[in-house]
Chain A
Amino acid sequence: MRRYLVRKLIIYILTFFVAATIDWILPRLVSGNPISILLSKMSLQPGTYNATYKLYMNAFGFNRPWWKQYLTFWTALFHGNLGISIYQFPKPVTSVIADYVLFTLALLIPAILLAYFAGNRVGAMAARRKLLDNSVLPVSYLLTATAYPWLALLLAFLFAAGGIGHFFPISGGFSYGLLPSWNWTFIWSLVTHWFLPFLTLFLVAFGGWAIGMRNLIIYELESDYTHYLEALGAPTRLVRRYAYRNAVLPQLTGLALSLGMVVGGAVVTEVTFAYPGLGYLVFQAVGNNDYFLLQGIFLFIIAGVLIANFVIDIVYVIVDPRTRVGISGA
């Protein structure tokens, strides 16, 4: 178990290292560095331009040798310093991120967990049951094949813009007329704004889990231990319970692997509903050429995904006794 977790941890640290390096290298690799783009907006005279360019290059340390820049980058990172945001100048990137992160977490955690549990339950029920299978399976396939932006637009149109009705607000994290405070009006406003983005993320993920669980249960019901149990005359419910517990393991691995995709879906969904989470912030950062913010959010999201991965690893160790005694290092 120790070996398993340590191995995972090393991979996560490596991943963070690679991600940070990509983060650092990209602006230096691309022709037309961020500073020339920033300055091009100021429409300066050539002489002034060159002087300002030099000043900025000095100020940001772009004229130092690359390895020195790289070391400075890591030192700053360890001090929790991600730079200053241009879009919300002069706020530091970390405090801009802090303003938005709660919305994203409130969206992602329920969507991921509920879709996982509901999808697995429904998929397990559908396996080997003709009637349910014929309805759940096609719907699930359609849901996984749906592009996030389309589902978000469709839900917004039908339930918020008046396609069917105006049940939910179409954009924002809470009503613009309210000040954040802990009273019921505000909380209700939060909930109604939260629901449609949540539903988008939930539905797409739900389809994938249902299909996966259905297939896995069918395989489990083919296995020797199932036949043995059946031969002993065990009730179907008991057999299915064993099948479910075995099928959950690969699904748990799948949960870790799906995180990256859900995060991508959250970006698109938050943009559609102008929901003030990190995805929306990333979009704003790109639109406003705010490179420090863009880099900061990227690192922040990677760190979040890695932490979530590690939590799932720990859950895996708890759920699968084999990893505890070291029989299989999944």
Chain B
Amino acid sequence: MTVLKTDEAAEKAGAPDAAVSAGSGKPRRFEFLYFALRNKKLLLGLSVVVLFVLFAVFGPLFVQHPMLNYYIPFRPPSSSFWFGTNYFGQDVFSEFVSGLRESLLVGLLGGCGATVIGMTLGFVSGYKGGLIDEALNVLCNIFLTMPVLVLLILVAGFLHHTSGLIEGILIACTTWTWSMRAIRAQTFSLVSRDFVGLARLSGEKSRQIIMREIAPNMSSYLLLVFILSFGGAILTAASLDYLGLGPTNGMSLGIMMQQASDWNSLQLHLWWWFVPPGAAITCIVGGLYLANVGLDEVFNPKLREL
């Protein structure tokens, strides 16, 4: 939903300052940094995300009780079991650490994949126009109206065995529409600019024009699209995992919630089993959305005064 908001917001506010920044080098970049360091939303959002990424990277160093060891079940959080133990007596903290790694990786894979597919189709569609654009746009609209999660359930239901890799690819293949929509609209507004016309006159090939003239001039926009895709992929993966259609072997934040729900953590009041994974997802995705709004303000001078 938020993807769409930025999309329309950008359309309303006019294209980002992209074209202006073309050609001039360092001063502009420092200016971005100047505004970036003073943007509270960006700093807060980014630091939350970075914190969780660092935790995912170095977390295993703090795990004292390996995931497959069994201790006394139903133990609330304490100094030796930071997040308590679950129904089976496993350490929730160690589950959380490996679940966080998996969820971030799947989200990254899904987000990157969706952005790359969306970029490719969006650039081609926006640059070529005409019949190709018409065809790609219809394709985009078809997948835009389809309920992604239900489609994924259908696919995963037939697959029987999934891994994080397959899950990430599936998410990328079904959620690229949002980035394509956004990038296509931006490309449209850039294609009619003089510098693209000049590049065409000088005989550059279409691919070169897209890579050298158009893409760099909306790099800020691409970053925003990626951030939103990343957050969206984490949420989608969490729902899919929760339904038991995620990675068949392994742990993720969604799988933690699934197990907690399956083994009556609600009735047994084992809140420490399902609160940490969901809270982590909310913090990461919220951080990403916040950083996205902050970056939007940094890149788009029209929004700065607000």
A contact residues vs B (CB 8 Å cutoff): 11-12, 14-15, 18-19, 22-23, 26-27, 29-30, 32, 37, 141-142, 144-151, 153-154, 156-157, 160-163, 170, 205, 208, 211-212, 215-216, 218-219, 250, 253-254, 256-261, 263-265, 267-268, 271-272, 282-283, 285-287, 291, 294-295, 297-298, 301-302, 305-306, 309
Q: Are A144 and B147 in contact (CB under 8 A)?
A: no
Q: How far is the CA of A186 from the CA of B13 in the complex (A)?
A: 52
List 24 interface pairs A-B (beta carbons < 8 Å), by A numbering.
A11-B142, A11-B145, A23-B154, A26-B158, A142-B282, A147-B257, A147-B281, A147-B285, A151-B278, A157-B271, A211-B2, A212-B2, A215-B5, A216-B12, A257-B1, A258-B4, A259-B145, A260-B148, A264-B149, A264-B236, A268-B239, A282-B150, A294-B153, A295-B154
What are the residues of chain B within 8 A of A257 when measuring CB–CB?
1, 4, 144
What are the residues of chain B within 8 A of A283 when measuring CB–CB?
243
The verdict on A149 contacting B142 (CB below 8 Å), with A161-B266, A170-B266 known, is no
Q: How far is the CA of A116 from the CA of B255 in the complex (A)?
A: 31
- Specify the main secondary structure of chain B where it touches its partner: helix
Q: Are B157 and A254 in contact (CB under 8 A)?
A: no
Residue in A closest to B158 when the chains form the complex, CB atoms: A30
What are the residues of chain B within 8 A of A142 when measuring CB–CB?
282, 286
The verdict on A157 contacting B142 (CB below 8 Å), with A141-B286, A163-B271, A218-B306 known, is no
Residue in B closest to A144 when the chains form the complex, CB atoms: B2
Q: Are A264 and B138 in contact (CB under 8 A)?
A: no
Q: Does B51 contact A (CB under 8 A)?
A: no
Q: How far is the CA of A95 from the CA of B245 in the complex (A)?
A: 26
Most B-side CB within 10 Å, residue of A144, A205, A295: A144
Q: Are A26 and B154 in contact (CB under 8 A)?
A: yes
Q: Are B239 and A22 in contact (CB under 8 A)?
A: no
| 229-267 of chain B: CB within 8 A of chain A | 231, 235-236, 238-239, 242-245, 254, 257-258, 260-261, 266-267
Q: Are B289 and A264 in contact (CB under 8 A)?
A: no
Residue in B closest to A219 when the chains form the complex, CB atoms: B12
What are the residues of chain B within 8 A of A219 when measuring CB–CB?
9, 12-13
Q: Are B9 and A149 in contact (CB under 8 A)?
A: no
CB distance from A39 to the nearest CB of B (A): 15
Q: Are A149 and B266 in contact (CB under 8 A)?
A: no
The verdict on A309 contacting B1 (CB below 8 Å), with A23-B154, A146-B282, A301-B150 known, is no
Q: Does B290 contact A (CB under 8 A)?
A: yes
CB distance from A281 to the nearest CB of B (A): 11
Q: Does B226 contact A (CB under 8 A)?
A: no
Residue in B closest to A223 when the chains form the complex, CB atoms: B12
Most A-side CB within 10 Å, residue of B145, B244, B261, B286: B145
Q: How far is the CA of A253 from the CA of B5 in the complex (A)?
A: 11
Given contacts A147-B257, A153-B260, A212-B1, 11 further A-B contacts (CB under 8 A): A23-B154, A26-B158, A147-B242, A150-B274, A253-B4, A254-B1, A260-B149, A264-B148, A294-B157, A302-B146, A305-B147
What are the residues of chain B within 8 A of A218 when measuring CB–CB?
306
Q: Does B155 contact A (CB under 8 A)?
A: yes
Q: Does B277 contact A (CB under 8 A)?
A: yes
Q: Are B153 and A282 in contact (CB under 8 A)?
A: yes
The verdict on A263 contacting B147 (CB below 8 Å), with A30-B159, A145-B282, A285-B157 known, is yes
Q: Does B205 contact A (CB under 8 A)?
A: no
Q: Does B219 contact A (CB under 8 A)?
A: no
Q: How far is the CA of A268 from the CA of B63 in the complex (A)?
A: 31
Q: How far is the CA of A27 from the CA of B288 in the complex (A)?
A: 37
Q: Are A267 and B153 in contact (CB under 8 A)?
A: yes
The verdict on A267 contacting B150 (CB below 8 Å), with A18-B142, A149-B278, A215-B9 known, is yes
Q: How far is the CA of A271 from the CA of B254 in the complex (A)?
A: 14
B contact residues vs A (CB 8 Å cutoff): 1-2, 4-5, 8-9, 12-13, 138, 141-142, 144-151, 153-160, 231, 235-236, 238-239, 242-245, 254, 257-258, 260-261, 266-267, 269, 271, 274-275, 277-279, 281-283, 285-286, 288-290, 306
Residue in B closest to A290 when the chains form the complex, CB atoms: B157
Q: How far is the CA of A285 from the CA of B158 in the complex (A)?
A: 11
Most A-side CB within 10 Å, residue of B153, B159, B231: B153
CB-based closest 9 A-B pairs: A150-B278, A264-B149, A145-B286, A260-B147, A208-B1, A145-B285, A149-B242, A161-B266, A286-B157
Q: Are B148 and A145 in contact (CB under 8 A)?
A: no
The verdict on A153 contacting B266 (CB below 8 Å), with A211-B2, A216-B8, A260-B148 known, is yes
CB-contact partner of A302 in B147, B160, B289, under 8 A: B147
Q: How far is the CA of A126 from the CA of B269 in the complex (A)?
A: 37
The verdict on A150 contacting B282 (CB below 8 Å), with A156-B266, A267-B153 known, is yes
What are the residues of chain A within 8 A of B5 when measuring CB–CB?
208, 211-212, 215, 254
Q: How far is the CA of A301 from the CA of B274 in the complex (A)?
A: 30
CB distance from B253 to the nearest CB of A (A): 8
CB-contact partner of B1 in A144, A161, A170, A287, under 8 A: A144
Q: Are B154 and A305 in contact (CB under 8 A)?
A: no
Q: Are A150 and B266 in contact (CB under 8 A)?
A: no
CB-contact partner of A14 in B2, B142, B151, B306, under 8 A: B142
Residue in A closest to B302 when the chains form the complex, CB atoms: A222
Q: How far is the CA of A256 from the CA of B236 in the complex (A)?
A: 19
What are the residues of chain A within 8 A of B279 when measuring CB–CB?
150
What are the residues of chain A within 8 A of B267 when measuring CB–CB?
161, 170
What are the residues of chain B within 8 A of A259 when measuring CB–CB?
145, 147
Q: How far is the CA of A291 from the CA of B239 in the complex (A)?
A: 21
Most B-side CB within 10 Å, residue of A256, A286, A302: A286
CB-contact partner of A144 in B158, B244, B289, under 8 A: B289
Q: How far is the CA of A189 from the CA of B221 in the complex (A)?
A: 50
Q: How far is the CA of A258 from the CA of B145 in the complex (A)?
A: 9
Q: Are B306 and A301 in contact (CB under 8 A)?
A: no
Residue in A closest to B274 when the chains form the complex, CB atoms: A153
